Chain A
Amino acid sequence: MTGPSDLPSPPVIVLENLVKFFGRFAALRGISASFAPGRLYVILGDNGAGKSTLLRIVTGLMQPSQGKVTLLGAGSIREVAHRVGYMAHAPLLYDELSGMENLRYFAGLYGLHDDNVCERAMTMVGLDPELSRRIGQYSQGMRQRLSLARAVLHDPELILLDEPFSNVDVRSAREMAAVLGRVRDKGKTIFVVTHQAALMEGIADEFVHMTAGQIVAREATARKANAQVETPS
């Protein structure tokens, strides 16, 4: 296990020897790690390193072949679903509904029936709640921003994002990154899988490097007072 030895509060995610096979291909080859809360982690690696697979297993959408994930102290996401938010490179939204209609539906899944919550979420990501256009007609940047709004609608403690910036215009991407930074500043924990490390510089607390299904390095950034470069044993 790696990370600073003085964890002030229980780790938000614990991975124990995670292995994932697709047929004979080992996408994850025994990952064990622990992550402290209140930080923004950026997971980097080449294509095929296993980043998306790892995130999908952490969210509970995919079962590992071996190993265990503990999320916010619980064995499966079902127990803590209302405290977790998820976003992917696919929009996870309905094309034929408007922004507010989409958010209203998903808010309902979390037991929230207040339109103000949805409006605030849209405004936070820089979208106009009054927009009645179907999101199928949005640009990719607008769609991803709405997807982010959906992910944080229920004020989750932990937010998991899988390539949120892919095919998104630079301005939208920068705005989204800034939003993530602000959300982290409120004490939330964020995991971002992305290729675009440059976008996250200045916002990330730690870069997690993956290669060939394993975590090869964890690099805390200079954001924190005690910066250190660590490698897992």
Chain B
Amino acid sequence: MKNIFIAFVVLTIALLAYSTYQGLFVAPTEQTMGEVQRIFYYHVPSAWTAGVCFFVNFLASLVYLWKRNPASDALAVASAEVGVAFCTIVLITGPIWARPVWGIWWTWDARLTTTLVLWLIYVSYLVLRRFAAGGQTQVLAAALAIFGFVDVPIVYMTIRWFRTQHPAPVMGGGENSGLDPAMLHAFFWNLLAFTCVGIVLMVLRYRLQTLEEKVEATHAAAALQGGNR
């Protein structure tokens, strides 16, 4: 199992190197926005990976509420943290992209705003995990995770409609703009690479969480045997 994971990590690093090369050097320069458009190869795959992480968080939380097993809770924490990390990347690359292109730092466009709300929701999830007292943190967090994920489509639809009422610049060229095939190539490689990075990080964080729980369990067993110190 461990060997497979190490092989996967190596593969991911290779993928990331290749996709970076594709995105920064091979893909053609965009005609209106120039070089800065290359952020697109980081911006969108990050958003996608964050979405995958949050979906994993949703499933893990459901399983936890059903089975109450530590493994699904560990996966829930891991996926939430990695998801927030990628979400942060989206929120940082967005303004970096917007500023040179439109002269403004922020545009309340549907997808960027949805990402912001998602970020807020999952940060509140992480805050809850830190502040919940006692052994029921996992249950409370799992409940919140379900609320959060159910909210996602509603958030997106709401902001989409808001944007059609009050139009503003749209990141990534709008809903239906096609991508030049040469760019598509780089885009898909980056998408794959980022997803793999996301998986690697989730697995690592999951491992860390399970190890921490094992340490706690050892202390607990000691307390049971010899009395509390």
Direct A–B contact in complex, judged by CB atoms less than 8 Å apart: yes
State whether B216 touches A29 (Cβ < 8 A): no
State whether B134 touches A26 (Cβ < 8 A): no
- A22-B134, A65-B135 given as contacts; is B223 within 8 A of A30 (CB)? no
The CB with the most chain A CB atoms within 10 A, among B134, B135, B136, B216, is that of B135
Name B's interface SS.
Answer: helix
Measured between beta carbons, the chain A residues less than 8 angstroms from B134 are: 22
Q: Which residue of B is nearest A48, CB measured?
A: B228
State whether A25 touches B224 (Cβ < 8 A): no
Report A136 CB to chain B, min CB distance, Å: 28
Say yes or no for B220: interface residue by CB 8 A criterion: yes
Say yes or no for B227: interface residue by CB 8 A criterion: yes
* A24-39 with Cβ < 8 A to chain B: 24-26, 29-30
Say yes or no for B99: interface residue by CB 8 A criterion: no
Our count of residue pairs bridging A and B at CB distance below 8 angstroms stands at: 27
Measured between beta carbons, the chain A residues less than 8 angstroms from B220 are: 21, 24, 26, 65
- A21-B220, A24-B216, A24-B219 given as contacts; is B228 within 8 A of A212 (CB)? yes
A25 CA to B223 CA in the complex, in Å?
Answer: 7
Say yes or no for A19: interface residue by CB 8 A criterion: yes
Chain A proximity mask over B186-229: 1 for CB below 8 Å, otherwise 0: 00000000000000000000000000000010011001100110
A65 CA to B228 CA in the complex, in Å?
Answer: 16
A94 CA to B78 CA in the complex, in Å?
Answer: 43
* A2-44 with Cβ < 8 A to chain B: 19, 21-22, 24-26, 29-30
Report A214 CB to chain B, min CB distance, Å: 10
Instruction: Name the contact of A30 in the complex, choosing from B135, B219, B224 (C-beta under 8 A).
Output: B224
The CB with the most chain B CB atoms within 10 A, among A25, A26, A29, is that of A26
A33 CA to B136 CA in the complex, in Å?
Answer: 26
Residues of B within 8 A of A (CB): 134-136, 216, 219-220, 223-224, 227-228
